[in-house]
Structure 1
Amino acid sequence: MALLVNDMTQNFSTTSLVILAAGRGSRFGGAKQFHSFGRLNKTLMLYNICHAIDNGCQHVVFITQANHQAQLIEKVINYLPDNIKYNIVFQENADLPSECEIAPTRKKPLGTAHALWCAREVLSGNFCVINADDYYGKQAFNLVSTLSQSDSPAMVAYQLKKTLSDYGGVNRGICQLANTHELLTLTEYENIRQEGKNIYGETIHLPKQTLAENTLVSMNFWYFDQQIFPILRQLLLNTFDAKELNPTQSNEKECYLPDAIALLNTQSAKPTKVLTSHDEWFGVTYAADSENVNSKLSELADKGWFASLSENQIIKNKS
């Protein structure tokens, strides 16, 4: 496992932020996590980091591919304040439990659960996990900051209507709650889109289904403590067991953080808390989404949401 770290003292905050930045952006047409948006001309990572720092975050972990390192440094690392500790972790397919095996020809990343597994050596205490190519809004970070020292997993959920794209169908994890604040199951719906006044989505077992606009969905904003790493190890063993997989299967399988949550919920007495953000989430699933994201981030900047970023008081260029 390849690791880079800045020179600061090895001290891990319980408010660590993990950013999944290894995506290839196939539908967008490139590594969208390094694209700049809004009148401040910054990556979505930096907008999120700005909110995290405002809530006390002192440590950021970037999980990426080795060939993305230069872009990550240029577009993000150079803008971190000097007092923020960071690590760069490379998601490498070879970083698996010894009992696992994949085909040597496998190039595609193994999924978000494997990405977090690759960061196990640089994390202690509690931490949040987000996607590099999504913008989550201020409220998500405010909500998670209330969980300080909690040993129960949690997620930030959004209303479905606030997560759609105008340019094509999207996939979302639909939440089913055991009560108003605990996650029971996540069901992956595909090709979710607005048609007239209705929102439709599909699953493998259910063709075109009508979905309520206020249905809560996961956008991959998680809160964990160290108990997640034994779960990730077990999930990787279940997915890439050398005794069970043939080479063809190992070239196709992936494991995701919702799979880890499902496994965690069966093995832990602590339910996953669901925190609901009423901010609008937005991202760039398609290249055409960029115009909308530029406009919205510029509006939020005008409202002062990124004062520390625009005034260079917290996030400043190191070059």
Structure 2
Amino acid sequence: MVKPTLLVLAAGMGSRYGSLKQMDGVGPNNEAIIDYSVYDAIRAGFGKVVFVIRHSFEKEFRELFSADRFGGRIAVDIVFQELDYLPDGLAVPEGRVKPWGTNHAVMMAADAIHEPFAVINADDFYGAEAYKTIGEYLMQLGDSTNRYCMVAYDLNKTLSENGTVSRGVCGVDGEGNLSSMVERTQIERMPDGKIVFHDGGADEELAEDTPVSMNLFGFTPDYFEHSRNYFKTWYEANSGNIKSEFYIPTMVNKLIGDGTSSLRVLRSAAQWHGVTYKEDKPALMAAIERMIADGKYPRDLWK
């Protein structure tokens, strides 16, 4: 049975948060969220972790997240996402400074990953149950193609008390596969307890257990070729907008919409934690202390 790989998207600079939050210590021994993600992936049977970063902070990142840090328990590789890393024949439009988005980041790992893999955000704390769930699914895929998966969370377990959030609201068909994924912005819990989103029109209420994507996806290596091919089409349509981004849901919706692929929605009852805003950090640190007290993690993660 082939062990899956964990692909960690860590190239973002955390503009809203105000610092390079991928490396920010949140555990009792200054562990970053990435440490807990890798720890959970090892326990779930993953065999390798690949980080997508930028050259601008390569030195600092390598000093922290080398194979030595993880005690040799998992293979480590690093790839880079840069603005000019584009398919042949494409160029960076004049004035473009914004990165190309999450699916462009995934594309950077094409030469490093040759087995089923999970994709995560570096700054999201997904919980051990999520890695176990997606790891088990990926291990069953073998040489399958076009059979993907994602872990969906209940919306009420992904909110921030410090501001609005954006979430991919998922539609699920009778067979448990994704039928649609729509990005909803400015989601928050109102004073009356209802969860609503303000997408520019009238406020619309969302159910507490609405399944949402937190960018925890599982793919097989054929996804890289699909992405490379479709990026050219997307580029032609969007290169005039220097702030447009090639997101994972953009690619997923295309493949599902044209019948190329199916994507199984794996539900998680776990509480998601993140640091969308700097004010979220104390709550995350307190949650980690509770999980340590409950025996879910050792106090010194890599001792």
TM-score above 0.5 = yes
Alignment correspondent of 2:273: 282
Equivalent residue in structure 2 for 1:301, among 288, 292, 296: 292
d(CA) in 1 for partners of 2:186, 2:174: 27
Q: Extract unaligned runs of 5+ from structure 1.
A: 1-12
The answer to which of 74-83 and 51-60 deviates more is 74-83
- 8 Å contact from structure 1 (residues 101, 240) kept in 2: no
Deviation (angstroms), 1:269 = 4.8
- The answer on 1:211 being equivalent to 2:206 is yes
Alignment correspondent of 1:154: 149
The answer to which of 55-64 and 174-183 deviates more is 174-183
Letter in 2 for 1:239: W
Equivalent residue in structure 2 for 1:107, among 66, 77, 97: 97
SS in 2 for 1:57: coil
| TM-score, reference length from structure 2 | 0.92
Alignment correspondent of 1:85: 75
Alignment correspondent of 1:259: 250
d(CA) in 2 for partners of 1:122, 1:211: 39
Task: Report percent identity of matched pairs.
Answer: 31
Q: Kindly tell me: are residues 298 and 180 of structure 1, through their superposed partners in 2, closer, same or farther at Cα, counting changes over 3 Å?
A: farther
d(CA) in 2 for partners of 1:234, 1:80: 36
d(CA) in 2 for partners of 1:311, 1:293: 16
Deviation (angstroms), 1:185 = 0.5
Q: How does 1:35-184 map to 2 (within 5 A)?
A: 35-77=24-66, 78-147=68-137, 148-150=139-141, 151=144, 152-179=147-174, 181-184=176-179
Deviation (angstroms), 1:179 = 2.1
Alignment correspondent of 1:220: 215
Deviation (angstroms), 1:304 = 2.0
Q: Kindly tell me: are residues 36 and 269 of structure 1, through their superposed partners in 2, closer, same or farther at Cα, counting changes over 3 Å?
A: same
d(CA) in 1 for partners of 2:189, 2:25: 27
Task: Tell me the number of residue pairs that the alignment of Structure 1 and Structure 2 aligns.
Answer: 296
- Pairwise CA RMSD: 1.9
d(CA) in 1 for partners of 2:132, 2:40: 8
The answer to which of 61-70 and 102-111 deviates more is 102-111
Q: Kindly tell me: are residues 165 and 180 of structure 1, through their superposed partners in 2, closer, same or farther at Cα, counting changes over 3 Å?
A: farther
The answer to which of 85-94 and 164-173 deviates more is 85-94
Q: Deviations over 1:35-86 (max 9, x none)?
A: 1103242110110110100011121000011112123223322522224211
The answer to which of 15-24 and 93-102 deviates more is 93-102
Deviation (angstroms), 1:15 = 1.1
d(CA) in 1 for partners of 2:255, 2:178: 11
- 8 Å contact from structure 2 (residues 238, 244) kept in 1: no
Q: Deviations over 1:160-203 (max 9, x none)?
A: 00000001000000011112611011111111001121011033
Alignment correspondent of 2:5: 16
SS in 1 for 2:262: coil
Q: Deviations over 1:245-289 (max 9, x none)?
A: 66xx25222100001101121344542100011110010000000
Deviation (angstroms), 1:104 = 4.7
- 8 Å contact from structure 2 (residues 46, 135) kept in 1: no
- The answer on 1:236 being equivalent to 2:226 is no
| TM-score, reference length from structure 1 | 0.87
- The answer on 1:202 being equivalent to 2:195 is no
Deviation (angstroms), 1:234 = 2.7
Letter in 1 for 2:43: D
Letter in 2 for 1:215: T
SS in 2 for 1:37: coil
The answer to which of 174-183 and 16-25 deviates more is 174-183
d(CA) in 2 for partners of 1:282, 1:21: 17
Deviation (angstroms), 1:31 = 1.2
d(CA) in 2 for partners of 1:305, 1:50: 11
SS in 1 for 2:46: coil
